[in-house]
Structure 1
Amino acid sequence: MSKKKKAVVPSQPSQPQPASKTTPLPVQKNAVGKSATPPEPFVEPADQPFELIRFDKRVKWFTAIWLGLFLILALSKIHFSSIPYWNQVIPDGSNPKRGLIAGTPRAIRMDEWAAMVPFVLSQANNGYPQENPAIGGEKPGLVVYLPIKHFITVFRPNYWGFTFLDTDRGFAWNGLFYPFFGLLVVVYLFLVLTKNQFWLSLFGAVWFVLSPAIAWWSFSPLTHVFSGSLILLASFYIFYARQAKTLIWAGVLFAWALITFSLNLYPPYQVPFGYLLIFLLIGFVWSNYRKELLFNQLIGKIITFGLAGLVIAAVVYAYYVDAKPTIDVMSNTVYPGKRSDSGGTGFIANWLSEYYSGWLLNDQRFPKEWLNICELSHAVTFMPVIAISLGLYFSKTKKIDPLLTIILAYSVILLVWIQFGFPTFLAKATLLDVSPTRRTQVPLGMANVVLAVLYLAYIRGRSLAISASVKTALIAFVVVFMVYAAWLNLTDSNGYYKAYQLFIPTLFFMVLNYLMLPVQSFRYKAVLVSGLMVLFSLPSLGINPLSVGLSPITEHVLYQKVSELHKQEPKARWVVIGSQYLTYLVTATGVNQLSGIKFMPDFKTMRVLDPTAKRDSAYNRYAHTVYASYIDGRDSTIIVNQFEDGYTVALDPCSPKLKTLDAKYFIFEKKPQPVEVRCMTQVATLGSIEIYKRNDF
């Protein structure tokens, strides 16, 4: 090989240009006549060859290890569900830690262990039907995110395990899918957005996934994060494609991901998170406008998006035809279908509460005015410091970073929505009226993490000349801001916090906010800050327990007895009189019961109980339904809406109406009065729980 001049390799983004390429500054004198080194001038990082994801050894090894761990855990039936809480809520004399490996099952996560898990098992025990009256009217599995025998399952990858694994392993696949694949695609997305800064992307993704806004909701927001991130990645590869094969696979991925995102019907997250995806797409293309790439294969790119659009339209139309009656019922419910919001119902302390909640709050300990730990959770924000720092960069360079600027704008818009609200016409025009502020703060929290990670990527390799007075002002701002955050949480919690409790968290985030400032630059600054946020976020691993299998439900004596009777008479309907928890557990067996959680009203049933629809507004909603005994000799039925998401039906268990509804089996929370079971025969006693069968069938 020739020993002549070798090719020069462009420097990495972390390396500023050599000082020799800048104009030396004259040595200045300070007040006592000694020489003082002037601030370094701003230096732009060297341009790098444009690429999206660089699949180097680190990325490949991480991907392989991560997917391997997912498969090992899924096949071992391990998951993050709080279903071991069933050992406490309805103890049956078994091991109180049955199914629990580590951690603490959370009562507050009852929409997971008491609602969604029984829904999933009810579907599994019935062969994944489209109609399941135990869950709700019409075809609930089409609009509720559940396993179902329908082509829509192609777009519900977390349920694919049920098609080739047993129920326990299929359930583990379901519980692990979004934490694992959600983190994986966020790593990939950050690799693109940070120009392949691996450790920042990995640490940023862990910080993102373990944010309280995600962890306290049992990782459910990751359903939209997963598909939304794939939409962005596919879009980027189509925009910058150089080869036809890239257009083919990216086009297929784009269509699949967009359908997956669209048909996971939960507008309170979909709308604000959809805006975040749009802002990220615009900001990235704006920041990386390369005419030679964007217009290369232009006809092929147009055809790719066109064909993807046709596939999306065809699939969504086919789904809509099947789901329209169910969607119509759901959209016309009092709650949540008719729910409309104008914003302005948030509180500013909650915006800054994550500085302290991770240290001092849990599901049992929190200020009562803050509802509960799930509702107040979001993510740590560095928005004020980032906004000021970007302003300084602009003042020195007269340039803006389009991606950072547009995400900052998005965050400010959502903050205005949460804190002050929009006029009604604007709320409806933007569709944010379907996203109550307590739900909007989850996408806002996600945006705050994205903003911080992108900012850390931006400042890497960018030094900035700042005078001593400006540095002092910036540091003073951080101190004042964190003192304000502490004071705000102290006063808004109505005495829950004590001043001394906030000292260490305030000091910790004072240091992190200081590191975010452009007052000094060092090589591993981005990794240090993101790594500290990972350490801060690691306790979130304990929010959801580590569990194995479904034994807390499937081995429960009530579940097994009801399943035994259900096999003998699979068409009989069931009613639980009393405890709502009993009826949640009975749902899991797959029986067709009148009580329980109804994702949407079953009007066929309710018209028998309420022929004139006099109490329609009470049950025309998503609701936890409880049945109780009420005997007045006139076969009266009382339907009372006690909560926004719940109602009680009180009637005579021997009512002819219940026979009309084929209600044959009755479960009583405690020993019933003779008059309640005058038409029945006892078939089982399980401690204080008694099961009866009507005689007139």
Structure 2
Amino acid sequence: MERLSRILATVAVAFPGRERSRSWPDVFVLAVVLAGLVYTALGWTPSSYGVALGGIGAPGEGLVAGTPKPIRSDEWAVWTPFVQIAVNNGFGRFNALSPYAEDLRNFNALPLLDWGLAFKPQFWPFFAVDPAWAFSFSHAVFIVLFLAGYHRLFVAFGFGRAWSAAASCALFFTSYAQFWWTTTGPLLAIFPWLLLAALARLPWHLHAALMAYVTAFWLLSHLYPPVVIPLAFAGGALLLAFRPDALRPRRLLPCLLGAAVGIGLTGLYLHEPIRAMAATVYPGSRSLGGGGVPLPLYLAQFLPFLVSTDDYRDLLGLNICEVATGGSYLLLLALVFLDYGRLGTVLRQGGPARTALLRQLALPLAAFALMSVWMLAPVPSGWGRVLLWDKVPGNRMVFAAGLLLLVLALVLLRAAAVRLSWGRFAVAALTVGLAWAAANGGLDNLAGRLANNLTDLAILPPLAVVVWLGARGMLPAAQGGFALILCALAVNAVGFGGFNPIQSAWPIFHRPATPVTAAFAESAAAHPQGWVLRGGMLPGALMQGLGYRSLQHVQIAPALGFFRPYFPEMGDAAFNQLFNRYAHVQIVPGLPAPGSPQADVIQLPMERFLAPPPRDPGGEAASGTAK
């Protein structure tokens, strides 16, 4: 155990903070970059595309570790196939290989050979190397940007390198970052670099240019306002709390100018899909009120395993992704083990240190409180409009809220040392145990839950080791806070780090030949226009991603001009209600009539498409996508 205490102290020294010379290399950043290079060289991805490979008769092809998650269908059945489509289409803007000839510019970033590519550096390797390696790089670069970015941001806020590295990893292994990584991961990863760009000390024109580029890079990586808006709000609160110097007019104005230019570039690039989506029946221009976050999900920001099980099942009857949060045990540990006597001494001393401490506690706490009201209370949509929160469902605020809570815990641990005692351990154990019992239905069937749902209690063994070391004087008091950060990190990594598999990109871009793919090719050959209509089509955009001309697809912008000739009997209002939406288009044999069983699904009878459509009054068959 004495050796373990020396290791903890050594790890802290290995990552010196701001107090060390700036000429020291940042070992954590170097290690993260090296790991990213190895990840790319091996062609790995966190994709769940293995589900699709199983659908074509190649289960386990290229799977290195873990299990593909069917729940991540917005990645393996939508986004990854659209990357395949962009590659198969020669990186052109309009999909010449699709019956719909759809515009590939949309809210999901794709490697397209147009002026927007300048703001998508994650895709540059697609134009130089095999697409499998390029796809791996497009994932690895965001893992590197996330870990290095939050680490550098926390250092910029005055925390030591060791703390910042551990806190960055703890944030990376939160359930929201892991469960939604292959969709909104780019937004989470680029965000700290946006704040770091705001903190840069450059001539005003270079500062504005940097902000413009990072803003456009951020927004074009995945334009999803429900995540962008709360992150921007939390970022503003953190800058006010930790670096108010960055908000002086001389530095703020170039930042605002650059951000405005970046937003303008994003709007210019995506103005057509934005206009098309705004006019849809779904999702259209939604305006939401507050509330809707179940109390257990809100509390999971403090007790991260409150609403999920060891095997990634949710306990609220939603789905595992919808119960994700940005939470860890760190704030609970800080509140339990903090030396409140020393904190009181710091607060009584007055002066700039006290002012800074109060600001760094009050502003993130106030921002979190406002977000909590929006998450929990049935607030009218008009109340949130000034902050654009009427575009944000409450459960999309959880990562930004978790970031604020993490920073609050770091501030408390830095302000005062911790007191590691068995009495305080008992308080922590009781809190965790009661939460575990409540989440799992009380005391009934206790033995069964102990066997199947232990992650909730996984914080207790490493915490007991830390307390034992502290009680015996084997852990220096100055390292107690760092040890608690490591505990929170370890438990998040164990509990959520295995969600995404490690999947080789090679079978994603080099399709295995199977009897299923042979049947698809036979179906295409039998249709006069080369469309695949028979043979058990795959869901989402998989068919077109695999290179087949398929009507079963995901229409991101409505293809009204294509479908109208096939359904001439439908009135304009009914036609618009059915087809004017983002939707998974499903082709169903024997379906008596077209319909929409849910907001993002359109089901169409296969028999309508076995022959060319009726000709329009001008004598030509209509086709293509409405512009």
Q: TM-score range by the shorter chain?
A: 0.7 to 0.9
Does the CA-based 8 Å contact 1:279-1:407 persist in structure 2? Answer: yes
Tell me if 1:255 matches 2:212.
yes
Tell me if 1:223 matches 2:171.
no
- Could you tell me how far 1:123 is from its partner in structure 2? 0.9
CA–CA distance in 1 between the matches of 2:113 and 2:227? 26
Higher share of residues assigned helix: 2
2:500 equivalent in structure 1: 544
- Could you tell me how far 1:609 is from its partner in structure 2? 3.1
Against the structure 1 CA distance between its residues 446 and 431, is the aligned structure 2 distance closer, same or farther, given a 3 Å change threshold?
same
Secondary structure class of the residue paired with 1:146: coil
Against the structure 1 CA distance between its residues 154 and 490, is the aligned structure 2 distance closer, same or farther, given a 3 Å change threshold?
same
- Give the letter aligned to residue 574 of structure 1: W
Against the structure 1 CA distance between its residues 416 and 129, is the aligned structure 2 distance closer, same or farther, given a 3 Å change threshold?
same
1:346 equivalent in structure 2: 293
CA–CA distance in 2 between the matches of 1:617 and 1:275? 35
Secondary structure class of the residue paired with 1:486: helix
1:599 equivalent in structure 2: 556
Choose the corresponding residue for 1:522, options 477, 501, 504.
477
1:489 equivalent in structure 2: 439
1:98 equivalent in structure 2: 61
Against the structure 1 CA distance between its residues 570 and 453, is the aligned structure 2 distance closer, same or farther, given a 3 Å change threshold?
farther
Choose the corresponding residue for 2:389, options 407, 432, 436.
432
Against the structure 1 CA distance between its residues 648 and 383, is the aligned structure 2 distance closer, same or farther, given a 3 Å change threshold?
same
Does the CA-based 8 Å contact 1:77-1:548 persist in structure 2? Answer: yes
Does the CA-based 8 Å contact 1:626-1:647 persist in structure 2? Answer: yes
Give CA-to-partner distance per residue, 1:87-109, whole Å, 9 cap, x none.
32331xx5x32111122222222
1:648 equivalent in structure 2: 603
Does the CA-based 8 Å contact 1:349-1:492 persist in structure 2? Answer: no
Does the CA-based 8 Å contact 2:554-2:584 persist in structure 1? Answer: yes
Secondary structure class of the residue paired with 1:280: helix
CA–CA distance in 2 between the matches of 1:644 and 1:491? 34
For structure 1, which segment, 582-591 or 158-167, has the greater mean C-alpha deviation from structure 2 after superposition? 582-591
- Give the letter aligned to residue 490 of structure 1: N
Give CA-to-partner distance per residue, 1:293-338, whole Å, 9 cap, x none.
987xx86x4774476367436634642xxx3232111123232223
- Give the letter aligned to residue 550 of structure 1: W
Secondary structure class of the residue paired with 2:141: helix
- Could you tell me how far 1:492 is from its partner in structure 2? 9.4
Secondary structure class of the residue paired with 1:119: helix
Give CA-to-partner distance per residue, 1:388-412, whole Å, 9 cap, x none.
9799846972544312321122222
2:584 equivalent in structure 1: 624
Identity of aligned residues (%): 20
Does the CA-based 8 Å contact 2:539-2:586 persist in structure 1? Answer: no
1:256-655 alignment runs, 5 A limit: 256-263=213-220, 264-286=222-244, 301=251, 304-305=254-255, 308=258, 311-312=261-262, 315-316=265-266, 318-319=268-269, 323-353=270-300, 355=303, 357=305, 361-362=309-310, 365-367=313-315, 369-378=316-325, 379-380=327-328, 382-383=330-331, 393=343, 397-398=347-348, 399=354, 400-456=357-413, 458-459=414-415, 462=416, 478=428, 481-482=431-432, 484-491=434-441, 500=450, 505-506=456-457, 508=459, 522-539=477-494, 540-551=496-507, 554-557=511-514, 572=529, 574-577=531-534, 579=536, 581=538, 584-611=541-568, 612-613=571-572, 614-630=574-590, 638-652=593-607, 653-655=609-611
For structure 1, which segment, 125-134 or 261-270, has the greater mean C-alpha deviation from structure 2 after superposition? 125-134
Against the structure 1 CA distance between its residues 403 and 571, is the aligned structure 2 distance closer, same or farther, given a 3 Å change threshold?
farther
1:146-295 alignment runs, 5 A limit: 146-195=110-159, 197-238=160-201, 244=203, 250-263=207-220, 264-286=222-244
For structure 1, which segment, 352-361 or 77-86, has the greater mean C-alpha deviation from structure 2 after superposition? 352-361
CA–CA distance in 2 between the matches of 1:583 and 1:504? 34
Tell me if 1:145 matches 2:109.
yes
- Give the letter aligned to residue 195 of structure 2: L
Secondary structure class of the residue paired with 2:558: coil
CA–CA distance in 2 between the matches of 1:73 and 1:206? 17
CA–CA distance in 2 between the matches of 1:274 and 1:570? 50
1:57 equivalent in structure 2: 24
Does the CA-based 8 Å contact 1:573-1:594 persist in structure 2? Answer: no
Does the CA-based 8 Å contact 2:209-2:258 persist in structure 1? Answer: yes
- Could you tell me how far 1:124 is from its partner in structure 2? 0.8
Choose the corresponding residue for 1:75, options 17, 24, 41.
41
1:30-69 alignment runs, 5 A limit: 55-59=22-26, 61-69=27-35
- Could you tell me how far 1:176 is from its partner in structure 2? 1.5
- Give the letter aligned to residue 265 of structure 2: V
The CA RMSD measured in Å over matched residues stands at 4.3
2:12 equivalent in structure 1: none
CA–CA distance in 1 between the matches of 2:90 and 2:603? 30
- Could you tell me how far 1:375 is from its partner in structure 2? 1.2
- Could you tell me how far 1:531 is from its partner in structure 2? 1.1
1:10 equivalent in structure 2: none
Does the CA-based 8 Å contact 2:211-2:259 persist in structure 1? Answer: no
Give CA-to-partner distance per residue, 1:373-393, whole Å, 9 cap, x none.
111121225556767979984
TM-score normalised by length of structure 1: 0.72
Give CA-to-partner distance per residue, 1:436-465, whole Å, 9 cap, x none.
123222332333333333433x33xx359x
CA–CA distance in 2 between the matches of 1:605 and 1:345? 38
Does the CA-based 8 Å contact 2:584-2:602 persist in structure 1? Answer: yes
Unaligned segments of structure 1, at least 5 residues: 1-13, 15-49, 632-636, 664-697
CA–CA distance in 2 between the matches of 1:409 and 1:276? 10
Figure out how many residues of one structure are paired with residues of the other and give that number. Answer: 579
Secondary structure class of the residue paired with 2:223: coil
Against the structure 1 CA distance between its residues 617 and 67, is the aligned structure 2 distance closer, same or farther, given a 3 Å change threshold?
same
Against the structure 1 CA distance between its residues 535 and 483, is the aligned structure 2 distance closer, same or farther, given a 3 Å change threshold?
closer
Secondary structure class of the residue paired with 2:200: helix
- Give the letter aligned to residue 39 of structure 2: L
1:671 equivalent in structure 2: none
CA–CA distance in 2 between the matches of 1:222 and 1:53? 32
- Give the letter aligned to residue 297 of structure 2: N
CA–CA distance in 2 between the matches of 1:615 and 1:565? 32
Secondary structure class of the residue paired with 2:597: strand
CA–CA distance in 1 between the matches of 2:54 and 2:458? 39
CA–CA distance in 2 between the matches of 1:169 and 1:63? 22
Give CA-to-partner distance per residue, 1:518-558, whole Å, 9 cap, x none.
x9991101210111122212233322111222315612437
Does the CA-based 8 Å contact 2:46-2:502 persist in structure 1? Answer: yes
Give CA-to-partner distance per residue, 1:28-70, whole Å, 9 cap, x none.
xxxxxxxxxxxxxxxxxxxxxx9699644340x4333432332
Does the CA-based 8 Å contact 2:585-2:603 persist in structure 1? Answer: yes
Unaligned segments of structure 2, at least 5 residues: 1-8, 10-16, 349-353, 616-620
Secondary structure class of the residue paired with 2:112: coil
**Bigger-Rg structure (1/2):** 1
